[in-house]
Structure 1
């Protein structure tokens, strides 16, 4: 294998891996955060070297913070969730037989 083919294979592999990570984060956000948290916890173990613990600490997913319009309704600001749109029931009508 020539050096060019090796570099090409590495670049393509990195591009495919980055695309897979992006697709997982966009299509499965809860699962990807759970996987990220599991990886961060395993890297942050006390038995790991300091460099891996630092990487694990950096990989920890951000805690969900409720802000205005988050729908939590736990603060006294009264921002709560937005009211639902008026719903109209479906009405099925028989075809006229002509």
Structure 2
């Protein structure tokens, strides 16, 4: 194999992996967050080197915050989203003749 073919295979492989990660995050968000948390936990183990622990800490997904101002509207404190969805009628307009 020539060096060009090796580089080409690496670039195509990276593009396929990036596409797979993107599709998993878009189509299976809860599962991908679980996988991300599992990877972060395994990298954050105390037996790992400092560099891997830092990467694990950075990869840890953000916890779903349900505090005031999150817009969940599930508590009686009145801090929910406050704005109700407003229905707007659909208006069809004729195209101008060109």
Q: Which TM-score applies when normalising by structure 2?
A: 0.74
Runs (4 or more) in structure 1 with deviation over 4 Å come to: 80-84
User: Unaligned 5+ residue runs, structure 1?
Assistant: 85-98
Aligned length: 85
**Deviation of residue 82 (structure 1)?**
7.4
The correspondence of residues 11-26 of structure 1 with structure 2, limited to 5 A, is: 11-26=11-26
Q: Which runs of 5+ in 2 are unaligned?
A: 86-98
Alignment partners' CA distance in 1, 2:76 and 2:14: 44
Match of 2:44 in 1: 44
Q: Give 1 or 2 for the bigger CA radius of gyration.
A: 1
Alpha-carbon RMSD across the aligned residues, in angstroms, is 2.4
